[in-house]
Amino acid sequence: MKNSKSINNLRREYKLNKLSEETVQKNPFNQFEKWFNEVMKVGLIEPNAMILATADDNAKPSVRVVLLKEFGKNGFTFFTNYTSRKGQNLSDNSHASILFFWAELERQVRVEGIIKKISRVESKKYFDSRPLESRLAAWTSEQSKMIPGRDYLDTKFQIFKRQFKGKQIPVPPDWGGFILVPEYFEFWQGRESRLHDRICYKKLKSKWKIFRLSP
């Protein structure tokens, strides 16, 4: 292909920072919070964008970008349509992985674990906080289903807009939150000569073991 040579020549040396077993937080949630706060200060577009990898019951993988909406000691929460492809994958196979890539800071974070549905009460709390158009869109979109065209989607949106005008919009029955409960973290800091820092945490009973991987 014409561009293959130019792609092969793409290079960047990572020099901004470094990461060591001695300087990271003892708890991976605290380390993630530290890095995420630094990301927020940089002013990136969609700093909470994360790549979610799932697999179905035949181990066929699927990957997409979703938005992190909450994180804490219990895990990482996002919201979606439960009947979507990712929702079906997670119903078949609750093991999943998420990835945050912050190029401007030469960092990425990988998290692996088990995904569970959050409570209906928690889902409603977040749903009610969304802009009106986002709530209507949740009713409009049968996510991952084939549709005849864009006009079908726009018409359906207007139907729900009229239906719920002046009313409290309920949470759609097939919409809600998932939480990824981590079993493994990897914090990656770009370094020169492709000798990157990879500091990992693995859950062993109730404690986190910290170790380094070769880049």
d(Cα 198, Cα 134) in Å, to the nearest integer? 38
pLDDT in tens, 21-51: 999 999 999 999 999 999 999 999 999 999 9
Q: Are 50 and 99 in contact (CB under 8 A)?
A: yes
* The pLDDT of residue 158: 98
List, in order of start, the domains of the chain with CATH numbers.
15-130+173-212 (2.30.110.10)
Angle between helices 132-140 and 150-163 (to 10 degrees): 120
* The pLDDT of residue 8: 84
pLDDT in tens, 141-173: 999 999 999 999 999 999 999 999 999 999 999
Asked about 194 being catalytic, the answer comes back as: yes
pLDDT < 70: residue spans in the chain: 1-5
* The pLDDT of residue 5: 67
Q: Where are the alpha helices (DSSP H) in 12-119?
A: 28-42, 85-92
Inter-CA distances, 143 with 72, 82, 137, 138, Å: 28, 9, 10, 9
Active-site residue (options: 110, 130, 194, 198): 194
